[in-house]
Structure 1
Amino acid sequence: MFLHGGGGTGKAFWHQIQYFSPSFRVIAPDMPGFGQSEWIDDVTSVEHIPHVLKGWFEILNISQCILGGNSMGGRVALSFAAHYPHMVSALIILDSVGVTLPNVPIINPLTLPPDQFMSGLVHDPQRYRQFTPYRTLEDAKELNRGRQIFAKYLGSQGIVPDPDQNLNQITMPTLLIWGREDRIIPLAYGKALEKALPDAELVVFDDVGHLPHIEVPQLTNQSIAHFLERRLPGVF
């Protein structure tokens, strides 16, 4: 299961769905309020989403999964794995906040000027346009609404880790994927998260920004596949 970032939709993981579907049941949902999912009145902060996901898992009869996420989706995945570790066999985190580094600023992409939004998110906007799965007018409408929902989730707290998560609970094998040129959540957060987690390894992509699953989908897919082959033998 892959969880999209703030403002995005499950379609962000289109390349991963195509690559892994022959071997896995792959799900990339629109989280509450994003894409085609409705806003849930009782879910007013990012901390609430993992518990909504648990209920959704139960409806779908999912007892355990490989869980991944980018940015806000990675934050949700980390929190879910901390609260419900028995339901996660492996974790894949792409450019997500999980620790606090007071001296390393995080940029809220919603604060970027419109003409700098894309160049702030990705290292090479032209390459992003080549690989992006968001290509229709409906996609554009969902992304625009998603930015408003993302702002609603953030409120005044900004982009911070889940204060209730305990990283020591996240003992399952964890792959951290980071773009070296990520301006939103800099690589320092990936390095610190690798040290903070009991069983994590960090892979860094050069010339990549905040969205490696879209910017370099083939490299991202291969890295995930190699990780699963090594850490969950027989699964992939």
Structure 2
Amino acid sequence: MSGRQEMLDLPDGATTPIWSYGADGGAPSARTVLLVHGFRGDHHGLAGIAAALAGTSPTLRVVVPDLPGFGAAEALPGRHDVPAYARFVRSVAAVVSPASAPALVGHSFGSIVAAHAVAAGPDAFSSLTLINPIAAPALEGPQALMSRLAQLYYAAGARLPEPVGQALLRNRAIVRLMSEVMATTKDPALRRFIHDQHRRYFSAFSQRRVVQEAFTASVTGTVTEAADRLDLPVQLIAGNADDIAPLDTQHRLHALLPGSELSVIAGVGHLTHYETPELVAELIADFLDRHPAPDTATPVAPAPPAAPATGVTS
């Protein structure tokens, strides 16, 4: 299932591209799920989850925007930080689902943005799913050294003369190294797919300042900051081999969110959206079925149970 591209008119007069999967937003029984991608990504990264999730029910409409400054979306006039991105997500939600609160899903940096979008007013969303959520500052975690090196890299990319800085930030060898570090799968074909996705879309940013500002936001912000304001059903999906969002931080976040659900996928790291998109979609569909929006007439159909080989624990 491929997404349908649309241009969305936002309340502030700006327009932004979105990709929709599944049900038509005008259908009376349609339930909207809004997905938020991670740092340096765009809608392509969540296409696998979006298509699989839309396929679980004819009443689901799954919407994936490009965050401002990435993919096909224009940069914001101001700073690209968590509050600005959270406002953007709330604006998109209000337009794509004006009659009912959509479910919100965020991956990695998108989990920070999504959590803060909910914290600004929980009534705007019916539920929150965080995939590989960032529960601790990257500059203080087990990958602190790598994060510090990345900080220097993005600072250099922003400050060097334009051609040199652009070449550094878009350097294919560096992008490939990042991809190799993050991928955990041993499947050669899947690794080739992941590397190709990063090669195609990891450098799809509009301006150098966007990358540096968003990177700073990604390594200083956390979901935990907003935990006490997430007064709605919350689902956490983690990989047990995730070095960027380590499993112990997921358990601590889970403990901070009474009533939240935590599913751990064995043998996968931070790239669950590439390595296990169908399983992630099944977990989300099951969660949505058990937590329908208050004004959703037709709940999402239950997803089939995961096969034992997936290694999912709750």
The TM-score range, normalised by the shorter chain, is 0.7 to 0.9
Aligned counterpart, 1:55: 91
Aligned counterpart, 1:12: 45
In the aligned structure 1, how far is the partner of 2:80 from the partner of 2:139? 25
RMSD: 3.1
Mapped contact 2:224–2:253 kept (Cα < 8 A) = no
Structure 1 residues 165 and 85: CA distance shift in structure 2, 3 A: farther
Partner of 2:39, secondary structure, is coil
Aligned counterpart, 2:35: 2
Could you say which structure has the larger radius of gyration?
2
Identity rate, percent: 24
Structure 1 residues 64 and 133: CA distance shift in structure 2, 3 A: farther
- How far residue 162 of structure 1 moved from its aligned partner, in angstroms, is 5.1
Partner of 1:145, secondary structure, is coil
- How far residue 158 of structure 1 moved from its aligned partner, in angstroms, is 5.7
- How far residue 117 of structure 1 moved from its aligned partner, in angstroms, is 1.5
- How far residue 192 of structure 1 moved from its aligned partner, in angstroms, is 1.1
Aligned counterpart, 1:68: 105
Aligned counterpart, 1:153: 214
Q: How many residues align?
A: 232
Q: Which has the higher contact order (CA 8 A, sep 6+)?
A: 1
Are positions 1:220 and 2:257 aligned together? no
Aligned counterpart, 2:67: 31
TM-score using structure 1 length = 0.84
Are positions 1:117 and 2:209 aligned together? no
Aligned counterpart, 1:82: 119
- How far residue 101 of structure 1 moved from its aligned partner, in angstroms, is 9.0
Gaps of 5+ in 2: 1-33, 154-172, 301-314
Mapped contact 2:108–2:133 kept (Cα < 8 A) = yes
Structure 1 residues 116 and 140: CA distance shift in structure 2, 3 A: closer
- How far residue 183 of structure 1 moved from its aligned partner, in angstroms, is 1.3
Gaps of 5+ in 1: none
Structure 1 residues 158 and 56: CA distance shift in structure 2, 3 A: closer
Mapped contact 1:171–1:199 kept (Cα < 8 A) = no
TM-score using structure 2 length = 0.64
Deviates more, 1:212-221 or 1:226-235: 226-235
In the aligned structure 2, how far is the partner of 1:109 from the partner of 1:145? 23
The residue correspondences of 1:194-205 to structure 2 (distance < 5 A) are: 194-205=254-265
Mapped contact 1:46–1:76 kept (Cα < 8 A) = yes
Mapped contact 2:103–2:128 kept (Cα < 8 A) = yes
- How far residue 217 of structure 1 moved from its aligned partner, in angstroms, is 1.4
